[in-house]
Homo-oligomer: A and B are copies of this chain.
Amino acid sequence: MQKTAATLAELDTPCLVLDAARMRRNIARLKARLAPFGVRLRPHLKTPKCIEVARELMETPQGPATVSTLKEAEQFAAAGVKDILYAVCIAPHKLARAGRLRAAGVDLTLVVDSVPAAQAVAAHARATRDRIPALLQIASDGHRSGVRPADDLLVEIGRALQDGAELRGVMTHAGASYDLHGAAALAEIAEQERRAAVSSAERLRAAGLPCPVVSVGSTPTAHFARDLSGVSEVRAGVFVFFDLVQAGIGVCTPDDVALSVLASVIGHQKEKGWIITDAGWMAMSRDRGTAKQAVDQGYGMVCDAEGRPYADLIVADANQEHGVLALRRGSRAALPDLPVGALVRILPNHACATGAQHERYHVLDGGSNPVAEWRRFSGW
């Protein structure tokens, strides 16, 4: 592990730079927005995978928190987080590993959306005499997992869980919100997400089943919901850093994006208008989430080392360790003069994907020199 560098120019490129001031502004914004609704924020820590960022996000050092893998649960538990929702349907052979975390004192909640999984959780609970809590995943927009609110499976799964384990509530995630744009559409899908979760909770309660937790959320819906009646907690993850996909959806602007990749210019193809850097798709990730949006940002938007965007300059193409900077098609802007060795910072399409390519954050805090290095973890 290298020492904290005194200036960005001392860092080995490519590397990940985190603007902590922007991150804190993003966190404060969502917390302020949710405050009037009286719901808890259960931040999704799959975006940062870093304890220092988690502590900025969580209400208390013990949580609550959301994770997407048991590795995340274990890493955050080792750092003192106690209230963790593992928000991906459990595979039965992972129950022993989940059980070890619970035996160590972590209030780990699982998710199921099928009778076989509920039966496996209940059987494991009976065998280990640990009434493992689980949320029932509801499909609010049909984009991925979950049971539809009107499906009779709902009560069947709830009963299968209660046969030894604990039905703690319902959860849903409006992943389809990522394909929308603007406040009206996002408010509408947020209401659809809320209604799916609340109506499912009501059906379970009407069948005599408990349902204390009603958990909803995605970064777009969390920022645009107008009503959260009946909801007990909101999950959101990528808002902590934001990214160009979220800017394209209309949840933030590029000025809110707290994550960037520092890169060095390594060459030019002048007749083509290309500037070549050492940040290829290995550093940016292969995520091309803006390709289907109104503004395609290539593999990222290029800024100077202080974080100020160059007009119309994007990472137009990428190989493993090469990024090709070029002006957007049709742009009349001038290609900036960036000699070999010049530093640029590139805002990513998708903070979760870009972050995952790196082992640490170089943290800026109000200035343009790094003040700390925060470790990220990866794997499963």
CA distance A341 to B380 in the complex (A): 17
* Contact in complex: B91, A13 (CB < 8 Å): yes
A341 near B12: Cβ-Cβ < 8 Å: no
Q: Which of A326-348 contact B (CB under 8 A)?
A: 339-341
A322/B93 in contact, CB under 8 A: no
* Alpha-carbon distance between A12 and B269 when the two chains are bound, in angstroms: 46
Oligomeric state, in number of copies? Answer: 2
Known A144-B276, A321-B69, A380-B13: A114·B267 in contact at CB below 8 Å:
yes
Chain B residue numbers with a CB within 8 Å of A116 are 339-341
Which B residues touch A341, using CB under 8 A? 91-93, 116, 120
Interface string of A4-33 (1 = CB under 8 A from B): 000001001111000000000000000000
Question: Across the interface, do A145 and B322 meet the contact criterion of CB distance under 8 Å?
Answer: yes
User: Distance in Å from the Cβ of A110 to the closest Cβ of chain B?
Assistant: 11
Whether A208 is near chain B, meaning CB under 8 Å from some CB there, is no
Is A181 on the interface with B (CB-CB < 8 A)? no
Bound complex: CA A204 to CA B364 (Å): 47
Chain A residues touching B, range: 35 or more
Known: A88-B321, A144-B319, A285-B285. 10 other contacts (CB 8 A): A12-B94, A89-B266, A93-B264, A113-B267, A114-B340, A142-B272, A144-B322, A282-B356, A286-B286, A286-B287
> Which chain B positions have C-beta within 8 A of A199?
none
A97 CB within 8 Å of chain B: yes
Shortest Cβ gap from A275 to chain B (Å): 11
Q: Once the chains are docked, how many angstroms separate the CA of A350 from the CA of B339?
A: 32
From B91, B114, B267, contact of A145 by CB (8 A): B267
Question: CA of A113 to CA of B269 in the docked complex: distance in angstroms?
Answer: 10
Contacts of A92 in B (CB 8 A): 340-341
- In this assembly, does A352 line the interface, its C-beta being within 8 Å of a C-beta of chain B? yes
Is there an interface contact between A378 and B359, defined as CB atoms closer than 8 Å?
A: yes
B68 and A320: CB pair below 8 A? Answer: yes
